[in-house]
Amino acid sequence: MSGVQTMAMAKALNAGLRQAMLDDPKVLLMGEDIGPLGGVFRVTEGLLAEFGDKRVMDTPLAESGIVGTAIGLAMRGYRPVCEIQFDGFVYPAFDQITSQLAKMTNRHEGKLQMPVVIRIPYGGHIGAVEHHQESPEAYFAHTAGLRLVSPSSPNDAYWMIQEAIASNDPVVFFEPKSRYWPKGEVDTSASPQALHSSRVVREGTEVTLVGHGAMLAVLLQAAEVAAEEGTSIEVVDLRSLSPVDYEPILASVRKTGRLVVAQEAPGFVSLGSEIAATVTERAFYSLEAPVIRVAGFDTPFPPAKLEAVYLPDADRVLEAVDRALAY
């Protein structure tokens, strides 16, 4: 596969995983129903037939066991990629990820690498039941020793999954499940952007909007509506959640003087809170208004019929833009 192709994010992730497995025979895939079924979102479809059951392994329904086994494999020189079937299923593996995987390299003074990728489909917009639409990024971003990334487009998904697998540090790879199916261009012959970098995806002059994953589509929609009303919005795709690449964000805020940070996760003690605090510290004299956060409510994720009320939409983002411009 080479050149520019149009594909959905799920297909782009599949292509990226396939390329990583072709490039390195030590790359293994592990997870529930990822073999003959191809995963519940079909991200691993066809890979069992191509690479065999020694490299694409269906596992028991035991997330702690999946990650614990991956840690052991990494110790022996393999590069395991674990699929957590849904975001809310990751918590049985939380101890393995935060107490072992994140700390193993530091515990061995850098002599032992942990090239493990934890793939987590996350977020709402699919009308699912409890434990299937959560956004648990902050739990892992708070844990030193883990890297966190989240693509918002098929092209980023294709390249970022390969870069994550190539990393010698553990990477938690958050896949916005509501973006699995919309299609976009994937340039398989281009040079990828650095994994831990943010970027401006829409130029503007009056307000900066920052978000990641599925929130990018909402921010771009809000920016289009604002443009029709005469307001120029700049949109920054975070891409990397830990570490955060602040320079494009700070450069944008120094230009616009206003910042709105948006996320699906609850707002209290969140990634958005951290970005708001850091920008306030580092670009205080450039701000014409307080940094405003738009987030899910500080409640458990509601039943599917209420998700549209819970999740930030373009109207909530635009209301925050109006508040920022009112100063």
Q: Among all residues, which ones are annotated catalytic?
A: 132
**What's the CA gap between 25 and 205, in Å, rounded?**
48
Those residues whose C-beta lies under 8 Å from the C-beta of residue 172, and which sit 6 or more positions away, are 97, 117, 118, 120, 140, 146, 147, 148, 149
DSSP for residue 189: T
**What's the CA gap between 216 and 193, in Å, rounded?**
17
Question: Cα dihedral sign for 198, 200, 205, 211?
Answer: negative
Whether residue 44 contacts residue 83, with contact meaning beta carbons closer than 8 Å, is answered with: yes
Whether residue 82 contacts residue 39, with contact meaning beta carbons closer than 8 Å, is answered with: no
Q: CB 326: neighbour CB atoms within 10 A?
A: 7
**What's the CA gap between 311 and 9, in Å, rounded?**
21
Write out the two tokens for 63: 């997330």
Cα 250 to chain centroid, rounded: 21
- Using CA atoms of 245, 155, 264, 256 in order, give the dihedral in degrees to the nearest 10: 50
Q: List, in sequence order, every beta strand (DSSP E) within 177-310.
A: 183-187, 199-202, 207-211, 233-237, 240-242, 259-266, 292-296
